[in-house]
C-alpha cells in the first residue's frame, strides 16, 4: 500500500505520539531493580551471562536454562553485562526499547493489513499501552517476550512483502527472522500457523503452494519445538480428560477476559478449584466460549473479526496447558503469554472505531466527537493502569507484597510468593519475618525441598544448627539430587566439628554440579583445616581453572602453597590475588619477597 505525502506526515506524527505515550506509561520500569523471581537465575546469578567467551556462547546455544531454550535472549544479557555489569537500568531500558520497536512494527503490520493511518494508530496504541503487557516489559527475565515478538513481527511484515511482490529475498528474511524469534522464546513455534491465518486474511488462494511455503519455517522452528515439547510433556498430558477440557476452555477464555477487563492483574494466577461443573467458574467459561463460537458464525463475513480470533488462537494454542497439578510449579496462565496473541484484538478495535467513524460521519459530527472522546478516555485509562502496574515491579519486596495481597491465600502457587518474600527478609536481616513466611510456604506446600533448604539457611544464621540439619535432611528426602542442600548441610557439619560428614556432602554437591566453584573452594578450605594440603591444593586449582578472576581462591591457594613449602609459588598467588583487588598484608608479601629475592 502506497502512502501519499500527507499520510506519511500523519504516520510519522502518529508514531511520535504513540512512542511518547508508551514511554510515559512505562517510565517507572526505568528505576526498577532486579527481583528475586528468576532474575537471579537467568541474569544476576547466571554464569553464562558473565562472559562472551566462545565456550559460554556454545553453552547458551547447546543447552537449556531452567527447562527453556533461549540462547539469543541469554546472549543479549551477556552483551549488557560485558558493557555495563549488572546495572538494572540498562536491562530495563533494553526491554522498553524492544517494546517500542515491537510497537512500531505493529503499526507497519496494521497498515500492511489495510487499516487506515488513524485506525492503525489506535490499534497500535492499545497494543502499546495495554496493562497485560507490563509483565513482559517490566520483568527483566521476560526479555524473551519482547525479543521474540520483535523478530516475529519482522517475519510477518517480510512475509507480507513477499506475498505482495513475490520478492524471494523478503521470504528468506522472513524465515531468518522466524528462526531468530524461536531462539529468543519457543512460543515463536506458532509462526507457520499465524502465517496461514495471514494468507487467508490477505485473500491468497489456499493452494498446495501456500502450505509448501511453510516448510522452510517448519524446518527452522521444529528443532526448538521438539526441545520445548520434550522438556514439558507433562504440561500437555491429560490424565483426567473432562477436567483437562474444562481447564483448557477456562484458560482460553481467561486471556480474552483479561484483555477486555485488564484489572486485578497479578504475576501468579490460581486455577479455580475444584475443576468441575460444580464450580461456577467453569460453566461460565463454557458459556463464554459458546458465545464466542456463536459470534464467529454470526459474523462469519467479517474478516477482521475472524482474523482477530484466529490470530489469537493460533498464537496462544501452544500455551493452553492441560496439566492440573498445582505442585508442578508452573503457572497455568500468565499475563506475559498474551503479549503477542493480543495483537489481533488490538487491531480489531482500531478497525471497529474506523467503521463507526465512517458511519457517523455520514450522519452528524457530534457523534464523531463522542466516539473520539470515548477513545481518548479508553487510552487514558489504559495508560494510567499500565503506569500503576509497572510500579509493582520496582523491587522484590514491593513485588512479593503485591502478589501475596492480590492472590488467594493458602492456594498454590502462592507458596512460592511467601518463599520469595522470605528471601528478601532474610537478606535484609529480618530473620523472624523470613521464618514466618517460610513456615507459611511449607504449610501450603510441604513437598517443596527448596522451602526446607531456605529455612535451614535461616536457622543456620541464627545458630540453631540442630534444626538446620533437620531441615536440610528433610529437603534431601524430598529431592536427593539437590546440590545446594548438600553444600549447606556441609557448612553446618563443619560448625559441629564433623569434617568427615561435611566432606562427604561436598563431594556429593560437586558430583551433582561439577563446575561449582564455591563448592571446590569450600572443600579446599576444609581439607586445609585438617592438613590435607594436597587435596586442598587440587581443589583450589580446579576453582581457579573454572573462574580465573576469583581473587580469594588465589590467596587461599597461596596460603596452601606456603604450608606445602613452596614460597615462590605462594608469592605468585598472593600477587595475583592483590592484582584482582584482594587485600594482602604488606608484611606477608615482604617476608616472601625476602625469601625469593
Provide DSSP, 450-475.
HHHHHHHHHHHHTT-HHHHHHHHHHH
How far apart CA 166 and CA 174 sit, in angstroms, is: 13
Mean pLDDT of all residues belonging to the chain:
89
Q: What phi and psi values does residue 392 have, to the nearest 5 degrees?
A: -75, -15
Local structure of 296: helix, strand or coil: helix
Q: What percent of the chain has pLDDT over 90?
A: 67
Q: Does 4 score more than 70 pLDDT?
A: no
* Mean pLDDT, rounded, for 569-578: 91
Distance CA 219, CA 459 (A): 52
**Which residues, other chains included, contact 492 with Cβ-Cβ below 8 Å and sequence gap of 6+?**
456, 460, 465, 468, 469, 472
pLDDT of residue 3: 53
Rg of the Cα atoms in the chain:
28
Q: How confident is the model at residue 370 (pLDDT cuts 50, 70, 90)?
A: confident
Question: What does the alpha-carbon distance between residue 377 and residue 400 come to, in Å, rounded to a whole number?
Answer: 31
Looking at residue 30, what DSSP letter applies? G
User: Residue holding cell 583445616?
Assistant: 529
Q: Indicate whether 78 pLDDT > 90.
A: yes
Range 92-116 burial, b when 16+ CB lie within 10 A, else e: bebbbebbbbbbbbbbbbbbbbebb
Q: How do residues 273-286 score in pLDDT, each as one tens digit?
A: 888 899 999 999 99
Better pLDDT: 480 or 263: 480
> Above 60 in pLDDT, residue 521?
yes
Q: What is the pTM of this model?
A: 0.88
CATH of domain 408-514: 1.25.40.10
User: How much is the average pLDDT of 215-239?
Assistant: 71
d(CA 253, CA 288): 7
Report the alpha-carbon distance of residue 313 to residue 493 in Å, rounded: 55
Give, in order, the Cα–Cα distances in Å from 472 to each of 2, 422, 454, 458. 68, 17, 9, 11
Position 361 confidence tier, pLDDT thresholds 50, 70, 90 = low
CATH code 1.25.40.10 region(s) in the chain: 408-514
Question: DSSP secondary-structure letter at 44?
Answer: I
Grid cell in block for residue 401: 507484597
Q: What would the mean pLDDT of 512-541 be, rounded to a whole number? A: 93
Amino acid at each position: 500500500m502506497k502512502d501519499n505525502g500527507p499520510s506519511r506526515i500523519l504516520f510519522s506524527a502518529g508514531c511520535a505520539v504513540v512512542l511518547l505515550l508508551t514511554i510515559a506509561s512505562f517510565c517507572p520500569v526505568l528505576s526498577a531493580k532486579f527481583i528475586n523471581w528468576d532474575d537471579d537465575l537467568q541474569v544476576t546469578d547466571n554464569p553464562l551471562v558473565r562472559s562472551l567467551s566462545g565456550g559460554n556462547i556454545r553453552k547458551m546455544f547447546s543447552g537449556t536454562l531452567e527447562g527453556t531454550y533461549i540462547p539469543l535472549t541469554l546472549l543479549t544479557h551477556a552483551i549488557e553485562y560485558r558493557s555495563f555489569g549488572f546495572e538494572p537500568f540498562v536491562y530495563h531500558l533494553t526491554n522498553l526499547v524492544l517494546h517500542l520497536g515491537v510497537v512500531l512494527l505493529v503499526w507497519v503490520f496494521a497498515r500492511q493489513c489495510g487499516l487506515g493511518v488513524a485506525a492503525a494508530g489506535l490499534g497500535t496504541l492499545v497494543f502499546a499501552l495495554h496493562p497485560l503487557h507490563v509483565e513482559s516489559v517490566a520483568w527483566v527475565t521476560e526479555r524473551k517476550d519482547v525479543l521474540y515478538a520483535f523478530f516475529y513481527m519482522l517475519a510477518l511484515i517480510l512475509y507480507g512483502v513477499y506475498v505482495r511482490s513475490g520478492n524471494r529475498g523478503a521470504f528468506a528474511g522472513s524465515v531468518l527472522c522466524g528462526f531468530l524469534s524461536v531462539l529468543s522464546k519457543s512460543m515463536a513455534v506458532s509462526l507457520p500457523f499465524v502465517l496461514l491465518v495471514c494468507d487467508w486474511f490477505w485473500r491468497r488462494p489456499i493452494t498446495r503452494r501456500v502450505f509448501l511455503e511453510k516448510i522452510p519455517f517448519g524446518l527452522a522452528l521444529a528443532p526448538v519445538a521438539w526441545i520445548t515439547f520434550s522438556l514439558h510433556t507433562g504440561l500437555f498430558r491429560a490424565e483426567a480428560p473432562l477436567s483437562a477440557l474444562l481447564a483448557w476452555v477456562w484458560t482460553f477464555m481467561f486471556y480474552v477476559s483479561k484483555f477486555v477487563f485488564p484489572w486485578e492483574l497479578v504475576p501468579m494466577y490460581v486455577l479455580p478449584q475444584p475443576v468441575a461443573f460444580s464450580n461456577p467458574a467453569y460453566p461460565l467459561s463454557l458459556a463464554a466460549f459458546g458465545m464466542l463460537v456463536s459470534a464467529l458464525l454470526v459474523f462469519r463475513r467479517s474478516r477482521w473479526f475472524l482474523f482477530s480470533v484466529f490470530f489469537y488462537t493460533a498464537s496462544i494454542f501452544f500455551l493452553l496447558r492441560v496439566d492440573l497439578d498445582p505442585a508442578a510449579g508452573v503457572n497455568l496462565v500468565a499475563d506475559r503469554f498474551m503479549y503477542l496473541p493480543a495483537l489481533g484484538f488490538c487491531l480489531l478495535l482500531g478497525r471497529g472505531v474506523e467503521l463507526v467513524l465512517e458511519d457517523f460521519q455520514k450522519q452528524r459530527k457530534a457523534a464523531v466527537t463522542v466516539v473520539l472522546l470515548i477513545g481518548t478516555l479508553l487510552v487514558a485509562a489504559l495508560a494510567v493502569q499500565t503506569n500503576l502496574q509497572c510500579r509493582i515491579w520496582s523491587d522484590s519486596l514491593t513485588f512479593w507484597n503485591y502478589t501475596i495481597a492480590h492472590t488467594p491465600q493458602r492456594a498454590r502457587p502462592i507458596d512460592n510468593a511467601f518463599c520469595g518474600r522470605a528471601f528478601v527478609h532474610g537478606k535484609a536481616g529480618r530473620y523472624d519475618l523470613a521464618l514466618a513466611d517460610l513456615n507459611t510456604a511449607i504449610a501450603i506446600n510441604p513437598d517443596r525441598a527448596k522451602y526446607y533448604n531456605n529455612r535451614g539457611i535461616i536457622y543456620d544464621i541464627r545458630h540453631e544448627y540442630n534444626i538446620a540439619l533437620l531441615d536440610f535432611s528433610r529437603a534431601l528426602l524430598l529431592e536427593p539430587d539437590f546440590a545446594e542442600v548438600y553444600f549447606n548441610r556441609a557448612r553446618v557439619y563443619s560448625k559441629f566439628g564433623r569434617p568427615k560428614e561435611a566432606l562427604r556432602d561436598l563431594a556429593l554437591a560437586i558430583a551433582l554440579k561439577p563446575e561449582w566453584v564455591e563448592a571446590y573452594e569450600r572443600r579446599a578450605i576444609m581439607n586445609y583445616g585438617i592438613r590435607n594440603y594436597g587435596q586442598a591444593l587440587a581443589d583450589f586449582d580446579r576453582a581457579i581453572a573454572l573462574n580465573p578472576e576469583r581473587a580469594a581462591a588465589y590467596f587461599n591457594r597461596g596460603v596452601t602453597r606456603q604450608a606445602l613449602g613452596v614460597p615462590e609459588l605462594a608469592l605468585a598467588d598472593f600477587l595475583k590475588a592483590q592484582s584482582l583487588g584482594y587485600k594482602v598484608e604488606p608484611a606477608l608479601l615482604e617476608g616472601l619477597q625476602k625469601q625469593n629475592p
